[in-house]
Amino acid sequence: MGLPTPESRPEGFVFTNDVNKFWGLSTLTSVIVIGVVVIFLCVAIAIFLDQPSIGSSFFLICMAFSQICIVVGIIQWFIVWLRLKPGILVIPSYPLRLGESFPIRYSRYLRNGQTPNAGTISGTWRCYEWVQYTRGTETRTLTETIWKTELPSISIEQGVRAIHYEMQLAIGPNLPPSFEAKHNRVRWELQLKLDFPRLVKENTTFLVHVEPEVLE
C-alpha cells in the first residue's frame, strides 16, 4: 500500500525517480494552476485600477509574488528535466530486512553535455512515523523521525556525464520494520541531496520496504 515496487534487473532491484512521469502528469496541472493564478492577478489589477487603496495594493503585491514563485518553481523543475535523466537507485536484494547492511548505488545521467561545475551529493537514511488525524473538519498529518543517519557528502568533479553515489546502509536489528495502514505508517526513506551549481539543486527521496524479519 503506497510503497513503490522496484524493477528486478540483473544488477539488482532498481528504483526509478521518474521525473518524466511527473512532468507528463503535472503539465496539465501546471497549466491549470498558472491559468487560475493569472485570472486572480487580472482581478486584482482590475480592483486596484478601479479603487486604488492600501488593501487592494497589498492584495495585488501578494498575488504577483505568489505567481512569480509558482512560475520560478515550475521553470526550475523544467530545467532539471531538460538537463538530467531520472535518478536510479540500485539495491542488491529486496525487500530489506532488520539487521541488514547493504550497498546502494544512485546514478543520475545528464541528457546532454557534462556537469558545468563541481558539485556535491549527500544523503539521509531515516525511519519515521507518519500519522493522519482530523481536528474538526480539517485533516492533519504529523511525522516524527525515530532514527536517522546522515550519509557522507562526496564531491563530484566538473565535466562528468553522470553523477554516481555509492554508499553502505544499515538497518538496526532493534528498529521497527515498515508498517503501512491508512492513517498510521512507519516508513524507511533514503533522501539524496544534489547540489550542482548551474545544473541542479534538489532533494530526491526513495521509500523502501523493510520486512519484519531479523537477519541473524
Partner 1 sequence: MIQVKFDHSKVPVGSDLTGVIRWHSDKNTVPKKVTLSIKWRTEGRGETDREVIETMQIDPDHFALSQGEDIPFSFAIPREGPVTYNGRLIRVLWSMTVFIDMPGVFRKDEKQDFTFNVIPRHA
Binding positions for partner 1, rule: CB under 8 A = 97-98, 129-134, 142, 144, 146, 176-177, 179, 181-184, 186, 211-216
- For partner 1, the closer CB: 129 or 195: 129
- For partner 1, the closer CB: 59 or 94: 94
Which H/E stretch holds residue 26? helix 19-50
Residue in 98, 93, 89 with CA at minimum distance from that of residue 211? 98
Triad 12, 149, 201: Cα angle to 5°: 75
- For partner 1, the closer CB: 50 or 144: 144
Distance in angstroms (rounded) separating the CA atoms of residues 186 and 191: 16
- For partner 1, the closer CB: 22 or 133: 133
Query: How many C-beta atoms surround the C-beta of residue 191 within 10 A?
Result: 15
C-alpha cell at 158: 566538473
Distance in angstroms (rounded) separating the CA atoms of residues 120 and 122: 7
Which H/E stretch holds residue 70? helix 54-83
C-alpha cell at 14: 532498481
Rg for the chain, CA atoms, rounded? 22
- For partner 1, the closer CB: 1 or 28: 1
Minimum distance from CB of 193 to partner 1 (Å)?
Answer: 25
